[in-house]
């Protein structure tokens, strides 16, 4: 008997986006980044160009952030994850001189052992 196994592996990149709300106080703002303290930790964020903030009901950009302002912002992070799947298929062939057994009738539901000893 000859068997052949074919395995197809598929790798699919997926973008995972996490959205979280960050609240804190502006500390040492600069136009391209600012550090804020929130939840007892100091964190530095890069501010994308054109980003707008709402502070006390007023809209401002990064240049309008002042030391001590309380802000709430949405932090969006993306990461690439990879999903891997595999599908395996096995095929085979019998030798040309191998006997072929053909079942006739209804399948038996009982279990037993048979012997060719006569």
Specify whether the backbone of 39 is left (phi greater than 0), alpha (psi in -120 to 50) or beta.
left
Cβ contact 12:83 at 8 Å = yes
- What are 20-62's pLDDT values in tens digits? 877 778 877 776 565 555 556 777 777 777 777 777 778 888 8
Contact status, residue 7 vs residue 86, Cβ threshold 8 Å:
yes
pLDDT at 12 over 70: yes
pLDDT of residue 68: 84
Separation between Cα atoms, residue 81 and residue 79, nearest integer Å: 6
Pick the CATH number of 13-82 from 3.30.420, 2.40.10, 3.40.630, 2.40.50: 2.40.50
pTM for this model (two decimals) = 0.43
Residue with tokens 């960050």: 22
> DSSP letter at 115?
-
Sequence spans of domains, the chain: 13-82
Query: Cβ atoms within 10 A of the Cβ of 47, count?
Result: 18
Segment 94-109, tens digit of pLDDT: 888 888 777 777 765 6
């Amino acid at each position: 008997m000859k068997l052949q196994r074919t395995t197809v592996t598929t790798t699919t990149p997926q973008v995972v986006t996490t959205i979280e709300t960050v609240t804190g106080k502006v500390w040492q703002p600069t136009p391209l980044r600012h550090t804020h303290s929130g939840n007892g930790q100091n964190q530095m964020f890069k501010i994308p160009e054109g980003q707008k903030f709402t502070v006390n009901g007023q809209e401002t950009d990064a240049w309008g952030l002042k030391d001590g302002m309380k802000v709430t912002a949405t932090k969006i992070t993306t990461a690439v994850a990879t999903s891997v799947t595999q599908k395996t298929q096995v095929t085979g062939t019998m030798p040309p001189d191998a006997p072929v057994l053909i079942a006739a009738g209804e399948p038996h539901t009982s279990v037993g052992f048979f012997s060719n000893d006569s």
